[in-house]
Structure 1
Amino acid sequence: MIFGCHLSIKNGYFGAAKQASKMNAGAFQYFPKNPRSLSVKDFNQQDAIACKEFCEENAILTVTHSPYPTSLTPNDKRKRDQVIQSLLNDLEITEACGSIGVVVHFGKEVSHLTLLESYQLIIEMLNEVLGEWDGNAKILLENNAGMPGAFGTTLEELVQIRKLCDYPEKIGFCFDTCHAFSCGLWDGENWSDLLEKGEKIGYFKELQLVHFNNSKYDTRLGKDRHAPIFGPGYIKESQFDQLVNTTQLANVPFILETPKEEIPHEKEIQLLQEKWGDHF
């Protein structure tokens, strides 16, 4: 199993890679630039190359996460143009650092649009970005948190959006355990059913990353509050065990986005490796 966490790039991309190595992590996630801005970053190419080479030498997988303001359902043309240019910049940095792809939240239902028009807007945004992108890094669509039936909370939605996009080969998926738990997609008891469904529609074939988070709230309450894997969360250790023991996930990185002030990520990675590291 491949375990890691989200790391800061305050010391550069190479600095984050060296920190992951010190933590004995097999993977890490990072923001390619300021997480609160859609501004385009003129990044340090040498730093990115050093990160890529170090991770290749040390068998560390990496992935980026788009900044918080990134939206595949922007409110207006100005925001739309900003998101497109920002995502292209994210993909460029992701590629330069040798990372798998950039995680992007599915999008939200737009109040003044019909449900179908909201889906269509996501497809248009993906087509516009990926039509200009010719690198290997992918956009990784992440399942949404929310109440049962909320927009972007089902595997079928993610698979269908990818299928309807002009560039499906440039799109993969990121599965967030807390998001899935919040809406009841995975309630802790239905993993075998979810796995069967995901296999049938081709979801797991394109899964590139798991955001490995416990939940501070019970399932189907629509609350997206992360908790440590072995802390006082509502997802039981035995329920995580079903997920971790899934052979389809054997080579997929599990990235912690848990509150590190409760359990330091280095310690949590150590606990994960002790319990599940040698499963495959």
Structure 2
Amino acid sequence: MKYKISDLARLMNVSTNTIRRYENMGYFSSDRDPSNSYRMYDEESVFQALNARLLRKYGFSHEELAAMNTFSMEENITAYQEKMKELEDTISNLKNIHHRIKDDIKLMQKATSSVAQPYFKDCVDLYYSLYSEGSKLAKDAKHQEILNNFIYNYPEVQRIYLMKKKDIDNKSYTLCSGWAVKGYLAEKVNLTTNEFVHYYPTTKSIMCMEKISTDELNEGDGCLIFHKLSQNIMQIMKDTNSTLNGDIIGVTVSKCFEDGKEMLYILISAPVSEKPVKN
């Protein structure tokens, strides 16, 4: 049986131009009706056309489909296996994104109900890389490559702020900024510590949801920022006879407008230990 181009286009729910394009790409061929020179397509052409639409849904490009027209069975199997691996990677990435969005929602809900309410909890371990320390930006090419990997290649990346314990002890209050991923996710992408990647371990901490205006952050006054974000934690440290035992880290939760100001919500974590009892 022979089909006109309009019949094939209607069957596939595409335009006749698309049919012509598929034919030009070599998916199938047509014969000319000797009485009117119309393009005519046989059953094999219909199958090839419909199969091309199906394989496009699988994610094969037009160029890949054109090449597959002359594939052996073994080559077809290899092409399908490669496409399946691509789909598995995409599914894995979508699962990570879904998990991250779910976590973000929980944190945003927590932000609205528990701001400025400190509590004790073991913090989540993180691998992180800083892109700035005060006004000093990362310039090393290898360091910049690592930062790009955090942004584009690592799952569930989080923006962090950090103040080093030695700076706090010295009252220099240098605010550092960077990117981080949770420890269990770092293992999946073989992320390890090096000159530019550091590990923040799970440890007993005082945590608190805090908020600060982006104007205050942009001013870069480390002392003001430190006291603004840590005052509740420092108070409970004093009340419980605790002492700071490591760098203070803050994970960015969300940004929003409140009373005409752009506010940033940050989950602060300060590792602590009990003060030694004096004899």
Decide: shared fold, TM above 0.5.
Answer: no
Larger of the two Rg values belongs to structure? 2
Structure with greater contact order relative to length (CA < 8 Å, sep ≥ 6): 1
Q: TM-score range by the shorter chain?
A: under 0.3
More strand by share: 2
Scaled by the length of structure 1, what TM-score is found? 0.24
More helix by share: 2
